[in-house]
Structure 1
Amino acid sequence: MASRDRPVLRYQHAVPLDLGLHLSLALDDHAMAALEPLAAAVQGLAIQAGRAAARRAPARG
């Protein structure tokens, strides 16, 4: 059971799944391998968004 301060994903029949550990344990190796390209793409987009935000931010100092 998830503690109150941890995010919980509610999926089908309101079964709580802790994000991360329980979700990753529920996926087999084939499913994880299939998700790796998607995870890499999302990470790349996050890096690009961070760089763009840094360019738009006023200089500190």
Structure 2
Amino acid sequence: MVPIKGIFPVGRLDKDSSGLIILTNDGRITKGLLDPKYYHEKEYVVTIKGKLRPNFREKMEK
């Protein structure tokens, strides 16, 4: 991502992920959404190739 003066990304995408990046011109919004002391629930959608093993969910919950 090319830095643009006065524009702040809210979050990031990892190398092998895809999605939407929110941009803002107000750095306070970025801090409010990313700072752990202002808890926000996150939801992820994951697509896999192949079949899951029967104990996959149990292992993920640990």
TM interval, short-chain normalised: under 0.3
Look at both structures and tell me which one has the larger radius of gyration over its CA atoms: 1
Question: Whose helix proportion is higher, 1 or 2?
Answer: 1
TM superposition score normalised by structure 1: 0.26
TM superposition score normalised by structure 2: 0.25
